[in-house]
Amino acid sequence: MEITSAEFVISNSRADMCPKGNLPEYAFIGRSNVGKSSLINMLTKNPKLAMTSSTPGKTLLINHFLINKEWYLVDLPGYGYAQRGKKMMEKIQKLIEYYVLEREQMTCLFVLVDSRLEPQKIDLEFIQWLGENGIPFAIIFTKADKQSAGKTKMNVAHYLDRLKEEWEELPPYFISSSENRTGRKEILDYIDSVNRQLKEAATV
């Protein structure tokens, strides 16, 4: 699939104020600074679409980007950034929880994890929580350009082994780099395949 149009639509501090209608949404979640906003820019080939920063805690709202006038990419605030202060952390946690659990248009949640790191407790707990709530998700291992391909492969295998301890079936997963566009085609093809399934299901 190619992206022919990508437009910023709206930022919201409340999940119940997100766009109406029933276009499917693909949302990006993960720890602050893992590269959610950068990945949206990489997929859309528009470095200015989502705001990024080398300082964690840049995205604080739910941001909707309309793609090809048919579906949305959704940029969410990161979790687990304690420097924001307790009140802000709680607010963001509620926002994420509400979006993930209540947003009917949410079709797949991409959980981003840093490909360089050992499995982090906070991510494993979040993934566990998704499982308990039956949320469809996939994993994206980010920042692959920051180490050798061999190291990424090893870390991903290690991560999947860790997930196998709790999961009978592994989720779809992707390796990405927003620097050199690794994973772009695979992620967009996956979204395309899910969109097609939705369309087929709607016509039966």
Q: Measured from the CB of residue 10, what is the shortest distance to ligand GTP in angstroms? A: 17
Which residues in 23-61 are b (16+ Cβ under 10 Å) and which e?
A: bbbbbbbbbbbbbbbbbbbbbbeeeebbebeeebbbbbe
For residues 127 and 13, what is the distance between their CA atoms, to the nearest angstrom? 23
CB neighbours of 4 closer than 8 A, spacing ≥ 6? 68
Q: How far is the CB of 156 from ligand GTP (least distance, A)?
A: 15
59 binds Mg ion (CB under 5 A): yes
In the complex, least distance from residue 90 CB atom to ligand GTP, rounded to whole angstroms:
16
Q: In this chain, which stretch among 51-59, 129-137, 146-154, 179-187 interacts with Mg ion, using CB under 5 A?
A: 51-59
Does 203 contact ligand GTP by CB under 6 A?
Answer: no
Contact 59, 92 (CB under 8 A): no
Q: Residue 56 corresponds to which tokens in the numbers above?
A: 């964690």
Query: Directed axis angle between helix 184-203 and helix 36-44, to 10°?
Result: 80
Q: Cα(8)–Cα(46) distance, rounded to whole angstroms?
A: 11
Cβ closest to ligand GTP, residue 78 vs residue 171: 78
Measured from the CB atom, is 75 or 191 closer to ligand GTP? Answer: 75
Q: Of 58 and 184, which has the nearer Cβ to Mg ion? A: 58
State the CB neighbour count (10 A cutoff) for residue 100.
20
Between 56 and 119, name the residue whose CB sits nearer to ligand GTP. 56
Residues 36-65, mask of contacts with ligand GTP (x by CB under 6 A): xxx-------------xxx-xxxx------
Count of residues that bind ligand GTP according to CB under 6 A: 23
- 173-202 residues near ligand GTP, rule: CB under 6 A: 177-179
* 80 binds ligand GTP per the rule CB under 6 A: no
Rounded Cα distance, 91 and 93, in Å: 5
Residues engaged in binding Mg ion (CB under 5 A): 36-37, 58-59
> What are the residues binding ligand GTP (CB under 6 A)?
32-38, 52-54, 56-59, 77-78, 142-143, 145-146, 177-179
